[in-house]
Amino acid sequence: MSRTWTIVKREFLATTRTKGFILGTLFGPAILAAWILLPALFADSGGTRQVVVIDGTRTGLGQAVAEQLSHDSEDLAFSVRVVAPAAGTADSVRAAMAARAAAGEIDGYVWLPPGLPAGESASYEARHATNMREVGTVRSAVDDAVRQARLRAAGIDPSTLSEALKPTPFEAREVDVEGQGAAASGEAMVMVAILAVFVIYFVILLYGNNVLRGVREEKENRVVEIVLSSIRAEQLMAGKVFGIGGACLLQVAIWVAVAALVSAFGEDIVRSLGGQVPTIPAIPFSSAFVYVAFFAGGFFLYASIYAALGSLATSGQDAQNMQFAAMLPLMVAFFMAFGVMNDPEGPLAVAGSLIPFTSLIVVPLRAILGAIPWTQTLLAAVLLALTCWATLWIAGRVYRVTILATGQRPSLRRLWRWVRTA
Amino acid sequence: MSSPAIEIRGLRKEYGDTVAVDDLDLVVPRGSTYALLGPNGSGKTTTIRTLLRIQEPDAGEVRVLGQKPGPEVRDRIGYLPEERGLYPRMKVRDMLTFLAELKGLRPRESRARIDGWLERVGLAERADDPVQGLSKGMQQKLQFIAAVVHEPEIVILDEPFSGLDPINQQALREILGEIRQAERTILFSTHIIEHAERLCDHVCILSRGRSVVDGELAQVKREHGGRHVGLTLDPWTLEAVAAVRAAPEAGRVHEDGHAIELTLADGADPRALLSRLVHAGVGLTRFEVVEPSLQQVFIERVGTKPLEEGALV
């Protein structure tokens, strides 16, 4: 064990002392911070739109649209002027407004044609007609104004109707399978679950490749031979997987710590910048434990596969193909997560939980969503642990018989023969 | 009586369809300096790797210091592989500390020894430099330190002299002499016969994975003695050399300026050769039956010069 520990120490230090690790550790939280801050910063960039409403209906609809625009918008402000053109002059007024918009004097104009109440189409010609928020605000203002006009024409008071149609408050909340009752809203939970799943996927991919590259370098520069004269190949492989795994956990722990600090102290900063702070729902300790356990188990499962594949690779191109082969089941697990989110207790979710190559993502996801019975978690954990053990064993043997092999890669049949007799 | 340092019985190792080592028996006595000779591809490296359990044999038994080569025995062996390799970004001292720790030497125990060795081989000032900044020869010195820093009972060196300049080759020979005086066992492979002849007291010559000569150096020479003649021509003429080569008593002839060494043909009498040369008018200042050099034994048993290319590994 002490020799394995020597390898663990070396791999941990070799990984954490690289520029890549330091930059990754710094940029991870920076990306997280940007994820929260940037939308807040960009949200403020709307400014005040100078808009002219050309009311071709001459029924006061233009004024109604202007009123809707001035109180509909929150952070996107409109300064509206209403023009009611004399009969026969609408086209020339529109042309004049189009010219002013092109010259930058106004941001755009809304054309309300005479047949609007009867169903004719209104239009908005503007300098920022691709700005979905701006166009959406104008459309709903016109829509509301026309609807109210129609109601009044039918003898119905719009305020009475809007009171009657006031939406009933409704919120979707996840219920914990254990019956403890989760407090967070479903949407926020899904956001957290997506983030959590993405972290597992991304980190395993990143560090798995690290393991593969490390093994290949050791094989290429022949240092492996002197190391193997002192310890068994299985010890070297285990030391590598656990050493790099430790570096990976350290990085994730730093990210989590920074995220915790940001959520504790960063809220005021974000608000002061005018942004919105996402409400992060509290994750029960049991779910967090399941997350960490399956993350670690999954990491060791995939890292040992990457190590075995690295020992098989005989060239850079070969290593890239190997990398892709190892990525496939991980990608399946990642995409499976989206199906599982829609139906966290359905057959896909159950199957994904019991297959060890996907359970590392599916089980933590269901645990965060509070949609997995403890019996299934336990069964999945046992299956993952057994597969981990078997994979480490097989990978250790593959590693032993292939790490010194050069030249052509052995066929699968020959490899299997080697592994059995090693 | 204590068990031999290394004992190999019936060792066989194949790579695909190629047999690298074929039914090899080898006994390395404790305290001996044992040379493993053979052309490239004769199975030297494979033999060494299997006795260190870096590779598993297909058949046969290996015992090191009387035991199957397991974790405990590994700590008592130092190894310098033929294909050198170190972690390029590690610092020199850290690299040696790491390799010593893999041999069971704690960092606080190895520190003074490592510094002493670095001083001795002239690398003390580079102790905190990354390995990748060192020349190949310097890296080889580091690997040699790694092979001996834990003071192993057996030192196994695969082609230890390759890549070293003559000064460092001499320095290495001196260090090996010290290890030998300390009665520790040295097993080294080489295809430079001169090194083997100067250093070893036991020798095994491998050819195509099989042992063709094995035993004490003096005994091996005795067994191949009586069949080698050394002579010096005076005057040296092309005709005189041609007459030596044409003599039916002469087998292989090796010329070195005025001196010639030859192996007698099967059943040939050296006196008949002397008489033939005198009658042919060849001027001779020396004619003696000599012990063969290791080079001659090698050529005789392997059929090629040691540096000729072989098959694999």
Q: What is the CA radius of gyration of chain A?
A: 31
Q: What is the pLDDT of residues A294-317, one digit of tens each?
A: 988 999 899 888 888 888 877 667
**Residues in Cβ contact with B28 at an 8 Å cutoff, skipping those fewer than 6 apart:** B4, B5, B6, B7, B34, B185, B187, B202
CA of A34 vs chain B CAs: smallest distance (Å): 34
Chain A positions in Cβ-Cβ contact with residue B56 (cut-off 8 Å): 400-401, 421-422
**Could you give the ipTM of this predicted complex?**
0.79
CA of B133 vs chain A CAs: smallest distance (Å): 15
Inter-residue contact B21 to B44 (CB < 8 Å) = no
Query: CA A400, CA A233: separation in Å to the nearest integer?
Result: 5
Mean pLDDT of B180-203: 88
Query: CA A286, CA A267: separation in Å to the nearest integer?
Result: 27
In A, minimum Cα distance to B56 occurs at A422
**Residues in Cβ contact with B92 at an 8 Å cutoff, skipping those fewer than 6 apart:** B118, B123, B126, B127, B128, B129, B130, B131, B134, B142
Inter-residue contact A108 to A124 (CB < 8 Å) = yes
> Taking the CB of residue A174, how many other CB atoms lie within 10 A of it?
21
Q: Which amino acid, residue B165? A: D
Q: Whose CA is closest to A5, among A218, A296, A238, A226? A: A238
Query: CA B216, CA B212: separation in Å to the nearest integer?
Result: 14
Q: Where in chain B is the domain with CATH 3.40.50.300?
A: 6-222
Q: Residue B310's pLDDT band (boundaries 50, 70, 90)?
A: very low
**DSSP character for A77?**
E
pLDDT at B157: 94
Q: Where in chain B is the domain with CATH 3.30.70.100?
A: 226-290
Query: CA A388, CA A117: separation in Å to the nearest integer?
Result: 69
Pairing label, strands A108-112, A48-55: parallel
The encoded tokens of residue B82 equal: 């033929």
CA of A208 vs chain B CAs: smallest distance (Å): 20
Burial per residue of A286-323, b for 16 or more beta-carbon CB atoms within 10 angstroms, e otherwise: ebbebbebbbbbbbbbbbbbbbbbbbbbbeeeebeebb
Judge whether residue A120 has pLDDT over 80.
yes
pLDDT at B127: 94
Indicate yes or no: CB of B143 within 8 angstroms of CB of A226.
yes
Pairing label, strands B6-15, A108-112: unpaired
Mean pLDDT of A323-351: 86
Query: CA A252, CA B234: separation in Å to the nearest integer?
Result: 84
Mean pLDDT of A129-146: 84
In A, minimum Cα distance to B16 occurs at A414
Q: What is the pLDDT of residues A261-293, one digit of tens each?
A: 766 666 666 666 555 555 566 667 788 888 888
Chain A positions in Cβ-Cβ contact with residue B99 (cut-off 8 Å): 226-227, 230
Out of 3.40.50.1860, 3.30.70.100, 3.40.50.300, 3.40.228.10, the CATH code matching B226-290 is 3.30.70.100
Judge whether residue A422 has pLDDT over 60.
no
The encoded tokens of residue A157 equal: 């008071």
Q: Which amino acid, residue A224? A: V
The encoded tokens of residue B256 equal: 């070195």
The helix or strand, by DSSP H or E, that contains position A202, with its residue range, turns out to be helix A186-220
- CATH class for domain B6-222? alpha beta
* B54 lies within 8 A of chain A by CB: yes
Q: Which of A159-168, A181-190, B137-146 has the lowest mean pLDDT?
A: A181-190
Query: CA A181, CA A175: separation in Å to the nearest integer?
Result: 5
CA of A227 vs chain B CAs: smallest distance (Å): 7
pLDDT at B304: 60
CA of A416 vs chain B CAs: smallest distance (Å): 14
Pairing label, strands B210-216, B202-207: antiparallel
Chain B positions in Cβ-Cβ contact with residue A7 (cut-off 8 Å): 102
Indicate yes or no: CB of B87 within 8 angstroms of CB of A14.
yes
Of A222, A230, A414, the CB nearest to B102: A230
- Which structural domains are found in chain A, ordered by start? 47-160 (3.40.190), 180-421 (no CATH)
Share of chain A above pLDDT 90, in %: 10
Q: Residue B311's pLDDT band (boundaries 50, 70, 90)?
A: very low
Judge whether residue B52 has pLDDT over 70.
yes
In B, minimum Cα distance to A9 occurs at B98
Judge whether residue A190 has pLDDT over 90.
no
> Mean pLDDT in chain A?
80
Of B77, B98, B103, the CB nearest to A10: B98
The helix or strand, by DSSP H or E, that contains position A81, with its residue range, turns out to be strand A77-83
Range picked from A143-157, A279-293, B20-34 for highest mean pLDDT = B20-34
In A, minimum Cα distance to B142 occurs at A226
* B81 lies within 8 A of chain A by CB: yes
Indicate yes or no: CB of A10 within 8 angstroms of CB of B52.
no
Q: What is the pLDDT of residues B9-24, one digit of tens each?
A: 999 988 777 888 988 9
The helix or strand, by DSSP H or E, that contains position A50, with its residue range, turns out to be strand A48-55
Full 3-state SS string of chain B: CCCCCEEEEEEEEEECCEEEEEEEEEEECCCCEEEEECCCCCCHHHHHHHHCCCCCCCEEEEEECCECCCHHHHCCEEEECCCCCCCCCCEHHHHHHHHHHHCCCCHHHHHHHHHHHHHHCCCHHHCCCEHHHCCHHHHHHHHHHHHHCCCCCEEEEECCCCCCCHHHHHHHHHHHHHHHHCCCEEEEEECCHHHHHHHCCEEEEEECCEEEEEEEHHHHHHHCCCCEEEEEECCCCHHHHHHHHHCCCEEEEEEECCEEEEEECCCCCHHHHHHHHHHCCCCEEEEEEECCCHHHHHHHHHCCCCCCCCCCC
Inter-residue contact A280 to A235 (CB < 8 Å) = no
* A223 lies within 8 A of chain B by CB: yes
Inter-residue contact A116 to A56 (CB < 8 Å) = yes
Of A10, A225, A422, the CB nearest to B81: A225
CA of B223 vs chain A CAs: smallest distance (Å): 36
Q: What is the dihedral of CA A319, A320, A325, A326, to 10 degrees?
A: 70
Size of interface A-B (CB pairs under 8 A): 67
